[in-house]
């Protein structure tokens, strides 16, 4: 009787070994074993598949040391609960992901080669739209700047360590003016000092113009953006 009961329990145990469940929820990759294959430790098909947890999903971005210091100092000043500004995810096709992300954790050290620190951002992924390895850009509003002046980056040249722009006067003559640029936004540059609203600057052929020369200005047309990079 005991031998028969032990045989039943062994059969149930062996049957249980034929059912393999994932310890985490997520998306499974391609199966490396098929029905009927014998798998076990040391076999060629010991690794059946890979399961990735995707809700929430992590996006890793390099954060400049200056931006990291801003967040760290804000926490030290009593904002322990501050998680940073909401982060927007721009997908490979240029569309915006509808769910904002939040900072999750930062790496233990700054990369001395790039002066950045690796930061993980969590994004909700209820529909499993996001997959591991996708290409995307992360965007955040870190501060608002009222009445900012922006010019194409091509309009700003450097001469002896100073940034300069060629301003077209009302009589179409050129004045070379030193400016103080600030942050960049895509292909634009914020000018903090040295430029007034409504003034015209030269974008193309900046190396050919000189102080006081007269030009025939034409409207600047920005070239179309290149297609977004493929997913990786």
- Digit-coded pLDDT (tens) for 85-95: 678 888 888 88
| Average of per-residue pLDDT values in the chain | 80
Residue with tokens 């003034």: 199
User: In this structure, are residues 138 and 89 in contact, taking their beta carbons and an 8 Å threshold?
Assistant: yes
Is 226 within a domain?
no
Q: Is the pLDDT of residue 18 over 60?
A: yes
* Rounded CA separation 181/70 (Å): 20
Sign of the CA dihedral 6, 12, 18, 22? negative
Give Cα 157 to chain centroid, integer Å.
28
Would strands 87-91 and 102-106 be described as parallel, antiparallel, or unpaired?
unpaired
Question: In this structure, are 123 and 68 located in the same domain?
Answer: yes
Least confident range from 44-53, 58-67, 115-124, 134-143: namely: 44-53
Ranges of beta strands (E only) in 141-219 are 149-152, 157-159, 162-168, 174-178, 180-185, 188-193, 200-201
CATH number at residue 157: 2.40.420.20
Q: How far is CA 39 from each of CA 20, 27, 33, 48, 49, rounded to the nearest angstrom?
A: 11, 21, 8, 8, 12
Question: In this structure, are 132 and 199 located in the same domain?
Answer: no
Question: In this structure, are 91 and 132 located in the same domain?
Answer: yes
Mean pLDDT value of segment 154-178: 88
User: In this structure, are residues 116 and 109 in contact, taking their beta carbons and an 8 Å threshold?
Assistant: no
Boundary residue ending a domain (140, 159, 189): 140
Question: In this structure, are 70 and 135 located in the same domain?
Answer: yes
User: In this structure, are residues 90 and 96 in contact, taking their beta carbons and an 8 Å threshold?
Assistant: yes
Question: In this structure, are 112 and 174 located in the same domain?
Answer: no
Boundary residue ending a domain (140, 173, 197): 140
Is 136 within a domain?
yes
Q: Is the pTM of this model over 0.75?
A: no
Is 13 within a domain?
no
DSSP 194: S
How would you write 13-57 as a 3-class SS string?
A: HHHHCCCCCCCCCCEECCCCCCCCCCCCCCCCCCCCCCEECCCCE
Question: In this structure, are 121 and 61 located in the same domain?
Answer: yes
Domain of 155, in residue numbers = 149-208
Q: Is the pLDDT of residue 27 over 80?
A: no
Mean pLDDT value of segment 136-140: 83
CATH number at residue 104: 2.40.30.170
Summarize pLDDT for 50-85 with one digit per residue, the tens: 787 888 888 888 888 888 887 777 667 655 445 556
* pLDDT attached to residue 231: 35
Is 50 within a domain?
no
* pLDDT attached to residue 85: 66
Is 48 within a domain?
no
Token pair of 186 as six digits: 């895509």
Is 218 within a domain?
no
Is 40 within a domain?
no
Token pair of 166 as six digits: 């060629």
Question: How many domains does the chain divide into?
Answer: 2
Report the phi/psi class of residue 166: left, alpha or beta, with left for phi > 0 and alpha for psi in -120 to 50.
Answer: beta
* pLDDT attached to residue 227: 39
Residue with tokens 């031998």: 3
Question: In this structure, are 66 and 123 located in the same domain?
Answer: yes
């Amino acid at each position: 009787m005991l031998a028969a009961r032990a045989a039943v329990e062994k059969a149930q145990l062996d049957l249980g070994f034929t059912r393999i469940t994932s310890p985490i929820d997520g998306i499974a990759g391609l199966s490396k074993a098929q029905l009927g294959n014998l798998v076990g430790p040391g076999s060629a098909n010991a690794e059946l598949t890979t399961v990735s947890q995707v809700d929430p999903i992590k996006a890793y971005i390099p954060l400049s040391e200056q931006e990291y210091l801003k967040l760290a100092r804000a926490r030290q000043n009593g904002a322990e609960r501050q998680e940073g500004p909401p982060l927007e995810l721009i997908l490979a096709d240029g569309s915006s992901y509808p769910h904002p992300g939040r900072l999750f954790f930062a790496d233990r050290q700054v990369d001395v080669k790039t002066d950045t620190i690796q930061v993980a951002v969590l994004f909700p992924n209820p529909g499993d739209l996001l997959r591991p390895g996708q290409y995307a850009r992360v965007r955040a509003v870190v501060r608002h700047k009222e009445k900012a002046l922006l010019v194409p980056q091509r309009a700003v040249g450097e001469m002896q360590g100073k940034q300069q722009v060629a301003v077209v006067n009302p009589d179409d003559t050129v004045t070379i003016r030193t400016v103080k640029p600030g942050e960049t936004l895509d292909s634009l540059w914020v000018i903090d000092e040295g430029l007034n609203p409504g003034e015209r600057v030269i974008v193309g052929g900046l190396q050919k113009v000189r102080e006081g020369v007269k030009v025939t200005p034409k409207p600047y047309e920005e070239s179309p953006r290149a297609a977004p990079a493929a997913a990786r």
